[in-house]
Structure 1
Amino acid sequence: MPDPVHNAGEYSVSEISMALKRTVEDAFGFVRVRGEISGYRGPHSSGHAYFALKDDRAKIEAVIWKGNFGKLRFRPEEGMEVIATGKLTTFPGSSKYQIVIESLEPAGVGALMALLEERRRKLAAEGLFDSGRKKPIPYLPRVIGVVTSPTGAVIRDILHRLADRFPVRVLVWPVRVQGETSAAEVAAAIAGFNALAPGGAIPRPDVLIVARGGGSLEDLWGFNEEIVVRAAAASQIPLISAVGHETDTTLIDFASDLRAPTPTGAAEMAVPVRSELVGTVGDLDRRLDGAMLRLIEGRKRELRAATRSLPRLDDLLAIPRRAFDELAARIGRALGANTLAHRGRLERTAGRLSAASLDRLTIRARDRLTSLGERQGRALEVHAERKRAGFARIAGRLRVEPLSQRLARGAVQIAELDQRGNRAFIRIVEKNRDRLDRAWRLAETLSYRSVLARGFALVTDAEGRTVRMASKVTSGEALTIEFQDGKIGAVAAGGAAEPRPKKAAKPKPPTQESLF
């Protein structure tokens, strides 16, 4: 039977897939889809991001290409409700349709606030907002670094306030304070100021001010990004945040060392008022002058009081002057008596010194020297004879023995010593073995494991202490019972049991000693 003829045209799989793709893209070339992000795991290694948008009844696959992902004002997060703008298309390889997202925004201020609160809790848990990390602001900085837009009114307000209060050097790092690249530029500016070397060509600021005027939550969102908060927390230079008006709060305010309500307030917090400082220094200078004058006057009065109690110069020198006069009067008589005494000694000595007495002394000294020379000669002969006799005795004892005999006798002695050493070593080893055996048998006898082998058990509490009395055990206490072959855990079921009455001792049979 021949096949029936159909009028419907035939499509290949590729043709029908491409036709569906063109139809969907033509019909939904621009759509805004609201849904919850699902399955987001961050950008792929290629830079593209793949996830899904869902509500309570349906789900659609979504993709953000690498070029559009870098332009997003905020990063997607799992569970966030967003409004995605893009176009629908199909993926012929798996017969699926998806939305190619070109822009992404949170679904209302409520979603942004929820995201902000979740990010705040996350960063606070890491300790970035701890008060112990905050650094004090220097009282009088020489250089102030400002991170803000160079064309806005904020930088003019800061410069004007600094000029009014205390003119200092200001370095401005221009950044965008709103938009897609705002967060990265602010973080790079903070890190750049910290990277300046002290004493370099560009002075390193003593304090930083990150400032921006007021705006909506979306306008200030760049200062809520993690990259900005982490850069502020990692800054080694004290940082003042002045983002928005007094009622505006961003996450950089929590990470900074000091929060200012406005950019103008940040300038007021950074420097004191010069006129007030000059007045304070002048007042302190006047107080210091007055204190010095009072101190000098007080010291003068003390000096006058001290001088009145000192004696006069004539009174101090009266006694030394009298002693000097008495000594001066006595020195003449003393010198005359001393001269007469020395003259008498000289005359007596000169009387004993005559030519005959000198000859007698010379002869006597010559005889004594001759006698000493003779005695020295005899002593040397006796000493030489004694040494000669000693050398003869030593030579008689030193007999030369052939080398072979000496080696043979030494070998015999070494062999005897080796045998004696072996026998002594064996005796020491046997003696120590016997002592070790006796100690081991004694340790086995005294060990509690020998008691366990006889049927007893060792009970310990949870801390490993031995339980010796039932009265020490409380109900429900965890115990460990050790037997000969191992340990088991136990729990006490009740309190201590009543002690058993002692059995009456059986009368002992009479012995031979008791009969007599």
Structure 2
Amino acid sequence: MNQPVSNAAEFTVSELSGALKRTIEDAFGHVRLRGEISGFRGPHSSGHCYFSLKDQNARIDAVIWRGIYGRLRIKPQEGLEVVATGRITTFAGKSSYQIIIDTIEPAGVGALMALLDERKRKLEAQGLFAPERKRPLPYLPRVIGVVTSPTGAVIRDILHRLQDRFPRHVLVWPVRVQGETSGEEVAAGVRGFNALEPGGAIPRPDVIIVARGGGSIEDLWGFNDEDLVHAVAGSAIPVISAVGHETDWTLIDLVADRRAPTPTGAAEMVVPVRLDLLATVHDLAHRHEDAMLRRLERLRADLRSAARALPTPDEILSTKRQRLDLAGARLPAALRANARGLERRFSQIGQRLERASPRLAAARARAALDAVGERPRQALSALTTRLRPRLDDLGARLRYLHAAGLRERRALLESRFSLLRSYSHEATLERGFVLVTDGDGALVRDGVTLRTHDPVILTFHDGARAAQITDGADPGSGAKPPAPDDADTGAQSTKAASRKQAGTKDAMTKPAMTKPATTKPAARKPAIGQGSLFDL
């Protein structure tokens, strides 16, 4: 059965998607769309944002590119009702349409207040609104910094109020106080004043006033910026917030060190009234002068009272003068009595010195020495004559005993040295034995440890010679060496007989002292076996 032929145009999927895209973009272009943000999870890893805008009946996908998101004054948040401005387009990969957003504004005051409350709770959790962070204002600042618009009425009100109360040096940081960039500019002004160096070309303010006139919540929204709140919290200079009227409030009011109801109120807070201050100073000066005068008058009266109670100089000196006269009258008699006492003491001392004169003592000692000097010499001469024979006899006996002791110790030393000589290996080598060591210098105690062609060193009593094992059975193979001939047997018998005649001393020598039997020195006939010192 043949199907009917249609004259409808045939499109590919891509062609149809492109046609729909052009139709929708041409028909709508830029639109303002009101809805609630849904499915927002923050920026993607690429920096773009993907979410949806919905109302009670429908929803549309939304995209914010990375560059646009960084410039947005109001960031998208889940559940926030906004008015988005952008262009409608299609996404062929999903066969869906979407809005590419350029700007976002909160949909009404209720949305802004909800966003403001949420931001307030967030910053309060960071401790930025804590009362202990507030710093006192300087009593009389030398320089006042004002962050506000240079063309508005606010700066004129502040300057006029300062001129009336107490003229001060004012620095103005010009900013926009309304619009998308107002919060960023005010934050830059606060940081800029803090960046000034004390004592520099531009004086650093002692206090900062952030001021703006009244307005709606949308007009004051720049002063709720998070970056501005952090800038005020990090300021090293005290900050006064004077934004709006008495009933208006922003986040900067909560973080500032002091909040003023109006910009004029901020000027009144920052400086005192000069005339009142002068009057107070004058009043205090007068009170201080009156107090000093009363104090001086009271001290003068006390001095006069004390002066009346004091004695006169004549009364003070009369007693002293009378005592001086009495002492002057007694002085001559006292001096004469003192002179006589000293003369008596000198006479007594002279008599004692005369009796204890060294010359008299020396004469008496010399006479006593002359009387007894002859008797000790006679007694000493008799004692020497009596003891001389005994001392000569004792000296002779001592010399004899010393010589006998030396001869006895010399004989004992010679006998022990002869015994030590007979026990040494040098004596054994002199009797015809040989000390055998291998190529490493290790002592050879048994012949079975040597193999053919092993190098050995033969130590004789008159020197050492190098040798090499040339014949005889290999100890490692287990075969026995060939039997010696009659001549060798006779030679060994003769050697055995000489060993027996050597006595016990030869049997006590070291086992390593052996006759060369299996070695061949350079000019000797090779031997078959090797005897041991203990095979006697």
TM-score, length-scaled by structure 2: 0.64
Q: Deviations over 1:178-217 (max 9, x none)?
A: 1211111212222232344444444332211001122222
Match of 1:25? 25
Supply the distance in 1 between the matched residues of 2:204 and 2:257 (Cα, whole angstroms): 18
For residue 351 of structure 1, report the CA deviation from its aligned partner.
6.7
Q: How far did residue 228 of structure 1 move?
A: 1.6
- Say if 1:137 and 1:357 are closer, same or farther in 2 by CA, change over 3 A: closer
SS of aligned partner of 2:185 = helix
* Paired residues of 1:228 and 1:252 also in contact (CA < 8 A): yes
Provide closer, same or farther for how the CA distance between residues 338 and 275 of structure 1 changes in structure 2, counting only shifts above 3 A: same
- Counterpart in the other structure of 1:269: 269
Deviation per CA, 1:101-131, whole angstroms, max 9, x where unpaired?
Answer: 2222111222222222332233334332232
Question: For residues 352 and 135 of structure 1, what CA distance do their matches in structure 2 show?
Answer: 97
Q: Which residue of 2 aligns with 1:248?
A: 248
CA distance in 1, matches of 2:163, 2:348: 108
In the alignment, structure 2 segments of 5+ residues that lack a partner are 371-412, 414-536
| 1:124-273 correspondence to structure 2 within 5 Å | 124-273=124-273
* Deviation (angstroms), 1:269: 0.7
Query: 1:276-313 deviations in whole A, cap 9, x for unaligned?
Result: 11111111111111111111111112222222233333
- What's 1:52 paired with? 52
Deviations 1:421-470 (A, max 9, x none): xxxxxxxxxxxxxxxxxxxxxxxxxxxxxxxxxxxxxxxxxxxxxxxxxx
Cα distance in 2, alignment partners of residues 283 and 44 from structure 1: 70
Q: Which residue is equivalent to 2:14?
A: 14
Aligned equivalent of 2:92: 92
* C-alpha distance in structure 2 between counterparts of 1:46 and 1:38, whole Å: 20
Amino acid at match of 1:290: D
| Aligned 1:59-70 pairs, distance under 5 A | 59-70=59-70
Alignment coverage as a number of residue pairs: 372
Cα distance in 2, alignment partners of residues 278 and 177 from structure 1: 37
Q: Which residue of 2 aligns with 1:328?
A: 328
Q: Against the structure 1 CA distance between its residues 354 and 234, is the aligned structure 2 distance closer, same or farther, given a 3 Å change threshold? A: closer
Partner of 1:83: 83
1:270-349 to 2 correspondences below 5 Å? 270-347=270-347
| SS in structure 1 at match of 2:5 | coil
| Structure 1 counterpart of 2:166, one-letter code | F
Using structure 1 for the length normalisation, give the TM-score. 0.66
Specify whether residues 170 and 353 from structure 1 end up closer, same or farther in structure 2 by C-alpha distance, changes over 3 A only.
Answer: same
Provide closer, same or farther for how the CA distance between residues 358 and 35 of structure 1 changes in structure 2, counting only shifts above 3 A. Answer: closer
- 198-207 or 29-38, larger mean C-alpha shift: 198-207
Report the Cα offset of residue 34 of structure 1.
1.0
Q: CA distance change for structure 1 residues 201 and 45 in 2, over 3 Å: closer, same or farther?
A: farther
Give the AA of the match of 2:126: E
CA 1:349 to 1:204, structure 2 compared with 1: closer, same or farther past 3 Å? same
Structure 1's 366 and 92: CA in aligned 2 closer, same or farther, altered over 3 A? Answer: farther
Q: 2:263 is matched by which residue type in structure 1?
A: P
In structure 2, the CA distance between the partners of 1:121 and 1:345, relative to structure 1 (3 Å rule), is: closer
In the TM superposition, what is the alpha-carbon distance from 1:238 to its structure 2 partner? 1.5
Partner SS for 2:6:
coil
Q: CA deviation at 1:81?
A: 0.9
Alignment partners' CA distance in 1, 2:293 and 2:211: 50
**Which deviations, in whole Å up to 9, do the C-alpha atoms of 1:155-185 show, x marking residues without a partner?**
2222222222212222222222112111112
2-side partners of 1:264 and 1:204: how far apart?
22
Quick one: structure 1 residues 291 and 355, their matched pair in 2 at CA, closer, same or farther if it must change by over 3 Å? closer
Q: 1:351 to 1:254 in 2, by over 3 A?
A: closer
Question: 1:4 offset after TM fit, Å?
Answer: 4.3
Deviations 1:256-291 (A, max 9, x none): 111112112111110011121111111111111111
CA deviations on 1:357-402 (whole Å, 9 max, x unpaired) are 66324435778999xxxxxxxxxxxxxxxxxxxxxxxxxxxxxxx9
Aligned to 2:99, what secondary structure does the other structure show? strand
Write out aligned runs for 1:366-515 (5 A): none
Task: State the partner residue of 2:399.
Answer: none
RMSD (CA atoms): 2.8
2:406 paired residue number: none
Q: Which moved more, 1:360-369 or 1:241-250?
A: 360-369
Residue by residue over 1:71-109, the C-alpha shift from the partner in whole angstroms, topping out at 9 and shown as x without a partner, is 433222221111112221001111111011222211122
CA contact (8 A) 1:73 1:179 kept: no
| Greater mean deviation of Cα atoms: 335-344 or 8-17 | 335-344
**For residue 83 of structure 1, what is the amino acid of its counterpart?**
V
Distance verdict in 2 for CA 1:202–1:356, change over 3 Å: closer
The one-letter code matched in structure 2 to 1:335 is L
- DSSP 3-state at the match of 1:261: coil
> How far apart are the structure 2 equivalents of 1:278 and 1:306?
42
In structure 2, distance between residues paired with 1:356 and 1:322: 51
Q: Verify: 1:111 aligned to 2:119, yes or no.
A: no
Return the letter of the residue paired with 1:183.
Answer: G
For 1:486, the equivalent position in structure 2 comes to none
Gaps of 5+ in 1: 371-401, 403-516
Match of 2:405 in 1: none
Q: Secondary structure at the match of 1:89?
A: strand
* Gap change, CA 1:324 and 1:367, over 3 Å in 2: farther
Quote how far apart the aligned CAs of 1:354 are: 7.2
Tell me by how many angstroms 1:37 deviates. Answer: 0.8
Contact 1:84-1:101 at 8 Å conserved across structures: yes
User: Aligned partner of 1:179: which letter?
Assistant: G
Deviation at 1:320, TM superposition (A): 2.3
In 1, Cα distance between equivalents of 2:150 and 2:368:
119
Structure 1 distance, partners of 2:181, 2:294, is 65
Cα separation, partners in 2 of 1:365 and 1:317, compared to 1, 3 Å: farther
Distance 1:368-1:125 versus aligned 2 partners, 3 A rule: farther
Answer yes or no: is the 8 Å Cα contact 1:85–1:103 preserved in 2.
yes
The one-letter code sitting in structure 2 at the alignment partner of 1:137 is L
1:132 and 1:353, CA in 2 relative to 1: closer, same or farther beyond 3 A?
closer
Percent identity over the alignment is 65
2:152, 2:3 → 1: CA distance?
A: 81
Residue type of the alignment partner of 1:207: V
Contact 1:37 1:79 in 2 (8 A): yes
Counterpart amino acid of residue 229 in structure 1: V
Single out whichever of 244-253 and 343-352 deviates more from structure 2: 343-352
Change (3 A) 1:228 1:356: closer
Task: After TM superposition, give the deviation of residue 58 of structure 1 in Å.
Answer: 1.2
In the alignment, the residues of structure 1 paired with residue 328 and residue 64 of structure 2 have an alpha-carbon distance, to the nearest angstrom, of: 121
